[in-house]
Structure formats: C-alpha cells, structure tokens
Structure 1
Amino acid sequence: MTNARILLDGLKLVESPRWHEGRLWFCHWGAGEVIAVTPEGAHEVVPLAEGVDPHTIGWLPDGRLLVVPKNPEPDGRLLRREADGTMVPHADLSALPGDLNELVVDGRGNAYVNGPGFAFLEFIKNINPADPRPLTERPGYRPGFIALIRADGTVVQQEHDIAFPNGMAITPDERTLIISESFAGVLTAFDIEPDGTLINRRTFAAGLGPDGICLDEDGAVWTSSGGNEAVRVAEGGKILDRVELDRAPFAVMLGGADGRTLFICAAKWDAQDPFAARTGQILAVPAPAAHVGYP
C-alpha cells in the first residue's frame, strides 16, 4: 500500500488510538498524556487530573471519557472524566488479577478491560533469546483475563486463559468481541450475550503478532503482523493488505471524515528501557474500507 505519512514524530511509546469527534486520540506512554491530533497534524494535550497516567481510553455512549490509569493501585479504579473535566471513579477493578492493559466500550455502556496476569515489563526484560520455549512456557508467565464492567459499575471476570491479552474490538451489531492474544499469535473471537457476557470462544485468525486492533466494514481486522508492518486480515487468516514500516506498529485505528484513513501508532521497542527513546510516531495511510464497530 501507499507509504504512510507522519502526522506526529518524536514521541515516546504511543498506544490506545481512538477516533473521536474528528480527531485521533491516543495515550502517550512515558509522558503521562492523552493527545488528540487532527488528520492535518494539529494536536493538543487533553487535560486530565494531576497524577493520572493514562494507559488506555474509551468513551461511554454519552460522551464521557473512561481512563484506565497506568498504575491503578492501590484501589484499582477505572476513572471517568465528567463534563466539567473532573475525574471520578467509574468502577473498582482491584479484585482483578495482575496488571491492566486494554479497554473497549460498546454502545450500551458496557466496558471490557483485560490484563496479562503478570508483570509484563519485568517478564520481557528477563527473556532469554536462546530459550526455544514459547513465551507461554517461560518463567513468570501467567494467563491473562477479560473482565466485563457493566454500565452500573459491576465487574464480572469473564475469561481466564488469554495468552497476553492486547487490543480488543466489538462488531457494530455488538454481538462479537475480538481480542489479540499476542503470545499465542492469534485473534480470538467471542459471541456477546445480551447481558454482555462472552461465550463461544474461537479463532478468528492465526499466524500473526497482533496488538491493538480495529475493524472495517468488510469484516476485516487491522493489526500487526508481529514485524514492522500493519496488516489487514480476513476471518480465517488471509492477509488482504500490508503497510510496511521501519518500526513496530503497536496499535491501529481507522478514522478520518470518511473512516478510510488508517492511523498507526509505531515506535522502536527497547525492552530494557521502553520509555526512554523518542521513536514514537503517529502515521496515516489511506485504507480500502471504512471503520466500523468499537472502538
């Protein structure tokens, strides 16, 4: 596909991109910021409460912003930004095991959050490249989870055996949730029951290195191949399109006026000091099909 153009450069790690009200919003890890940028590159830091270090974000149907802080201890809060800009607790996630990672919110106000079940950065730093075992068999690994946070704030842990859960997306009919299992190299799908619970686990596509994901109107998923390229994959695993990069894509999001611009959060990954270098970029490239679903 066409070479991607750079919207923003010189960032740290960039994650959790979301298209909202005409701009791409994303979390600037290592800087403790949420940034919103237009398709032309004009950008601003979105004000949050002092001390809130955003890890992932999403919006309720009424337009209020949800934020999972990077370090939610000691009370494990999911935060909500009110219309006046104040940050208040939305749900207590302290009963969930391990760290938290990604968030997606559906059109009914149900939120799904996941987590790896172990200390990811410590795990990555200690990886021995000569060890032939899969990552799921290395010391320190534990299966991750998905939890449902209903609109009333109740928390229900759903799935307990996710191989490093990463990006999630929900189809526009709110009947299917797709999640990246990064350590298994697969996209996994679940049916969503009317009460928000997940059933019928199955493989959507395998042979990838999936991270942050989004859906298009053709039923395809944009994600990472596991190398320096973003790929568009159909159910069953066929690669439909590729965008080659000079660094790793950590997450993708479709947006723009017609939903046909693919925004890519990319950076050069250093497991020993991931937040030091400023290799992060926000890139944009035309896409063949428009965005649908959540986020």
Structure 2
Amino acid sequence: MTTATPEILLTDLVFPEGARWHEDALWFSDVHADVVLRFDPAAGRLDRVAAVPGGPAGLGFLPDGRLLVTAGHDRTVRRLERDGRLVVHADLSDLASWHLNDMAVDGHGRAWVGNYGDDSAPPAPPRPANLVRVDPDGTTTVAAGEMLFANGIVVTADGGTLIVAETRSTPGRLTAFTILSDGTLTDRRTLCTFAPSVLPDGLTIAADDAVWVASPFSGEVLRVDPGGAVTDRIEVPHPYAVALGGRRGEDLFVCSADHWEPDLARTARSGKILRLRP
C-alpha cells in the first residue's frame, strides 16, 4: 500500500457522499445534513445547491445539465429545475426494498439506482435487492435483481458497460453488465473480487476505464484496471466516495468521515473533502 498525505480541502461536514465532478466543480451530498453542495476548488468556494430532506445520496446529471439526486428515505429520485425547484423525477418505492443509495446517469439520461436492501448490518447477511433503471421520462424498470447492497456505480466512457460495487457480497466485488441500446443489462459478470477487509463503496472511473474504489473500513482507495486487476492501493482515512476531476481530470477527490452512523456523524462533524494526485 502506498502512503500519501492527502490535501484537506474542506472540513466540518457531517457525512459527505456521492461525489461527482461536473462543470469544473465537485458536487456531493452531505447525507445526514440533508443537503447537496457544490465546491469550486479553484476559487475555494462552497455553495449549497439544494436541501433534500430524508438523506440525499447519489448524484448525476441529465444531458441538459439538470441535477438528479436520490432521496434515500422516501425512495425517490429528485430533479433540480433551472428555477431552483426540486421535483420528483421518479418514485422507486414499489421497486426499492429499502433506502436508495448511489446512482450513475449515462449519456442518454438513464439513471441507474441502487438501494440497501434492508436495514441490517454486518455480520448479518443483506437482503438481495433490485438495481433500478430510471429512463429520462421518469419510467422505472428493474434492471437487475439479487444485488448485495449495490453501492458505487459508474459507466464506461463508451457507454457500453455498467459497473457496480456490491459492498456486502462475500467477498466484496465489482459486478459489470453490458448495456444494450435500449438500456437492458446483459452479460452479468464479476469484474473484480477483493480481500475480506475491503467493502467497496463509492466508485469513480477514469478516461481509460480504470475504476477507483473507496474502501472505508480498510482505510484505502484502490485502482482496478479494465481487466479487473488491483494495480494501486493508497492509504486514506475512512474514504466513502471518490471522484476524478480537476483541470486535467487527474485529481482524485475523496469524501471522508470518521462515522457513518447518523447521530454520531451529526455530533462529530468529522466529514472532510480530501484531494490526492495519484
């Protein structure tokens, strides 16, 4: 494992998650503070984008630039309109068995949304759950079943492959699917399995389709090449989400927090945004 000293960009957050780089800024959810934030590293400016009661999590952007955000507890995907209104884009309450989690939006505006399955915690086994596709018009479809705590989600540069972190499979793994032209997922396969200490969480994908993986409980971020091999491991305290960005797309932003439990996180306010330059 490589030991690096990450640069601290922001502190005093509750539980930052769902990081995405978009329009020269880092967007992320402060989940237990019920807000979505936008940070411009060049200007050092932090802006509040929207209040999202019930735990915002995954973020993504429609082709026209409008923000989508999962509202975890009420199991909806919200859309931020240009006039500042936050409206319901899709209701997943009939397809998601528990709180919504991470999300990726592809170049066609299709959102891929995971959920926890149930409220259990390790060592209890999770309830297998659906991965849901939300089409641009808000139509919802079960894209894949039997997901074991679908977490970080990314789409390859050509739009042809969806990669999902299954945090609570044994062992933790990255699962890949081929995306057909109509949005159907096929050819389900395991891209990578991890050591028992790694519970893969947030993901970000590079231009060469290498995937960076946040592993909060082993205290590291890992690089997985397109063939599924772990090529790099960098020690980072409590990383829950990652996003590649910056001027050349080479900065690795990390969402870190000492506690994920809501009450502890709100009391400690240990959440940070870190930057690595691997």
SS at match of 1:48: strand
The aligned residue for residue 232 of structure 2 is 241
- Asked if structure 2 preserves the Cα contact closer than 8 Å seen for 1:116 and 1:145, the reply is no
User: Structure 2: 5+ residue runs without aligned partners?
Assistant: none
The aligned residue for residue 12 of structure 1 is 14
Mean CA deviation greater in 236-245 or 181-190: 236-245
TM-score by length of 1: 0.84
The aligned residue for residue 106 of structure 1 is 106
The aligned residue for residue 285 of structure 1 is 276
SS at match of 1:241: strand
The aligned residue for residue 182 of structure 1 is 167
| 1:69-95: CA deviation from partner (whole Å, max 9, x where unpaired) | 1321xxx43211111111122112121
CA RMSD of aligned residues (A): 2.0
SS at match of 2:78: strand
- Asked if structure 1 preserves the Cα contact closer than 8 Å seen for 2:29 and 2:37, the reply is yes
Q: How does 1:83-98 map to 2 (within 5 A)?
A: 83-96=82-95, 97-98=97-98
> Quick check: which one's strand share is greater?
2
- Asked if structure 2 preserves the Cα contact closer than 8 Å seen for 1:35 and 1:43, the reply is no
- Asked if structure 2 preserves the Cα contact closer than 8 Å seen for 1:33 and 1:45, the reply is no
- Asked if structure 1 preserves the Cα contact closer than 8 Å seen for 2:251 and 2:276, the reply is yes
Deviation at 1:236, TM superposition (A): 4.6
| 1:254-284: CA deviation from partner (whole Å, max 9, x where unpaired) | 0001100000011113558442322211000
The aligned residue for residue 268 of structure 1 is 258
Query: 2:209 aligned to 207, 219, 233, which one?
Result: 219
Give the Cα–Cα distance (whole angstroms) in 1 for the partners of residues 48 and 59 of structure 2.
12
1:42/1:224 Cα in 2 relative to 1: closer, same or farther (>3 Å)?
same
- Asked if structure 1 preserves the Cα contact closer than 8 Å seen for 2:157 and 2:207, the reply is no
Give the Cα–Cα distance (whole angstroms) in 2 for the partners of residues 205 and 53 of structure 1.
29
| 1:169-213: CA deviation from partner (whole Å, max 9, x where unpaired) | 001111100000011210010000111111111111111421110
- Taking every aligned residue pair, what percent have the same amino acid on both sides? 40
1:220/1:81 Cα in 2 relative to 1: closer, same or farther (>3 Å)?
same
Give the Cα–Cα distance (whole angstroms) in 2 for the partners of residues 93 and 70 of structure 1.
10
Number of residue pairs matched by the alignment = 268
Deviation at 1:224, TM superposition (A): 2.6
TM-score by length of 2: 0.89
- Asked if structure 1 preserves the Cα contact closer than 8 Å seen for 2:34 and 2:55, the reply is yes
The list of structure 1 runs, each at least 4 consecutive aligned residues, that deviate by more than 6 angstroms after superposition, is: none
Mean CA deviation greater in 43-52 or 32-41: 43-52
Give the Cα–Cα distance (whole angstroms) in 1 for the partners of residues 168 and 52 of structure 2.
34
Deviation at 1:220, TM superposition (A): 1.3
- The code of the aligned residue for 1:254 comes to L
Give the Cα–Cα distance (whole angstroms) in 1 for the partners of residues 43 and 259 of structure 2.
24
SS at match of 1:30: helix
1:24/1:112 Cα in 2 relative to 1: closer, same or farther (>3 Å)?
same
Give the Cα–Cα distance (whole angstroms) in 1 for the partners of residues 127 and 165 of structure 2.
16
Query: 2:5 aligned to 3, 6, 31, which one?
Result: 3
